[in-house]
Amino acid sequence: MIDTKILKENIEKITSNLKNKNYDLNNSDFLKYDSERKKLILQSEDLKNKKNILSKEIGIIKSKGGSINAQKKEVEDINDKLIKIEDLLLEAEKSFFNFMLDIPNILDDKVPVGKSEDDNKVVSYSNNENLSEKKSKDIVDHSEIGKSLKLFDQEAASKMSGSRFSILYGKFAELHRALGSFMIDTHIKNHGYSEVHVPLIVNHESLIGTGQLPKFKTDLFELKNKENFFLIPTSEVPLTNILSNKILEEEELPIKFASLSTCFRSEAGSYGKDTKGLIRQHQFDKVELVKFTTPSKSCEELENLIKDAESILTLLELPYRKVLLCSGDTGFSSSITYDLEVWLPSQNSYREISSCSNFKDFQSRRLNIKYKDKPSKKKFYVHTLNGSGLAVGRTLAAIIENYQNKDGNIEIPKILRPYMRDAEIIKKVDE
């Protein structure tokens, strides 16, 4: 949530900033809600002051043995007015809060202006080469080679669960498990994250806190037998909510959580896109990295977060590129986002495998997460960051395609072989 004071003081500048994010801020509505709320607050405070003055008068009159009937009647009238004012104020605060919930985060100055993913800025390539300039020949799509190896089945999954679910067998299932273990191990051992096992079901308030609600409800799987509960779209939600309503010591920061979890996304409106294979699934596993830090360190921590995610791709020897998202493609809660896109030879294109974002104090204001500044002893909102380290299914797809041999078998990346009982090749089941 945006700081209302900053918004009011810089409303024209912020309006222009959010317009680049394809959001039209209604200035008049903001000022109306803010004005109405403040008017009621002043009325309430004025009545409370009058009541306090009358209470003192009553005390003095009683001490002198005089009549307090008139003053008591006035106090009763004030109490009646206060009840009405407080009810109106409650409604005004609710309306103002709901209005503010709908406003996306302010874009960082580094974010390039653009309308869609076509305007994103490529920052670097892992091998200093744009592979899209080369046409990949004789590369079989990961789902097709999976079917030929009898290790991948979407048809059986669709019978029991519907479209965009998959079943992995044998070595594909083992490789999927190995990838998750390798990723979480690397982030814990090499990058200093604390591993957390999180619930897969969260309540309505938790999703409001991280910014998925109210705007993106259609992208979520809601539990119909349990009101206001949802399957997590990413473990970012429970990881960030761990520290809600906490006041941290500056010495504790940065706090770094990592979690390997199953995630669920309905993604309404994306039907017909990537329905084949592992790229866009309703259910998928992902390693999520979440950080809490001071405002002065959040830019540095974002760079470190990106490097942590990149290291997984480097160790797996997968070609990728780093992309700075433009204003129109930057997410609702994010101030700035870098995507890591892995090369998929069958598609002759790079596809997102990690999204690393700095939310600054947008989430912490919603969740009331603060830290105590050591020199001043004052309390400030922390900055939150998160990124995928990585999406397991998409990484599996990239390995299947980038490591496939001419004979149709798949080489296992060297770094993963200890997790695969030293296996080097995934062969057809009848070989």
pLDDT digits (tens, 9 = 90+) for 6-44: 999 999 999 999 999 999 999 999 999 999 999 999 999
270 pLDDT higher than 80: no
Judgement on whether residues 182 and 90 belong to the same structural domain of the protein: no
Residue tagged 């605060």 (tokens) = 93
Q: Is residue 329 part of a domain?
A: yes
Judgement on whether residues 304 and 347 belong to the same structural domain of the protein: yes
Tokens encoding 132: 């899209």
Residue tagged 């129109």 (tokens) = 328
What confidence score (pLDDT) does residue 276 get? 80
135 pLDDT higher than 70: no
d(CA 352, CA 342): 6
Are the CB atoms for 54 and 74 separated by under 8 Å? yes
Judgement on whether residues 190 and 60 belong to the same structural domain of the protein: no
Judgement on whether residues 122 and 82 belong to the same structural domain of the protein: no
Average pLDDT taken over every residue of the chain: 93
**Quick one: average pLDDT of 276-284?**
92
Q: Which of 148-157, 250-259, 332-341 has the lowest mean pLDDT?
A: 148-157
pLDDT digits (tens, 9 = 90+) for 70-79: 888 888 999 9
Comparing CA positions, the residue from 200, 196, 319 lying closest to residue 255 is 196
Domain count, the chain: 2
Judgement on whether residues 127 and 56 belong to the same structural domain of the protein: no
Judgement on whether residues 86 and 124 belong to the same structural domain of the protein: no
Judgement on whether residues 356 and 231 belong to the same structural domain of the protein: yes
What confidence score (pLDDT) does residue 431 get? 46
C-alpha to C-alpha distances, 258 to 263, 323, 418, nearest whole angstrom = 14, 23, 22
DSSP 233: S
Range of the domain at 128: 117-426
Q: Is residue 106 part of a domain?
A: no
d(CA 59, CA 153): 83
Judgement on whether residues 94 and 130 belong to the same structural domain of the protein: no
Q: Is residue 7 part of a domain?
A: no
Would you say how long the chain is, in residues? 431
**Quick one: average pLDDT of 214-233?**
93
Q: Is residue 18 part of a domain?
A: no
357 pLDDT higher than 90: yes
DSSP 195: E
Surface-to-core class of residue 59, CB atoms within 10 Å of its CB (0-12 exposed, 13-18 middle, 19+ buried)? exposed
Last residue of a domain, one of 101, 136, 156: 101
What confidence score (pLDDT) does residue 132 get? 67
Judgement on whether residues 145 and 96 belong to the same structural domain of the protein: no
d(CA 185, CA 371): 29
User: CATH number, domain at 417?
Assistant: 3.30.930.10
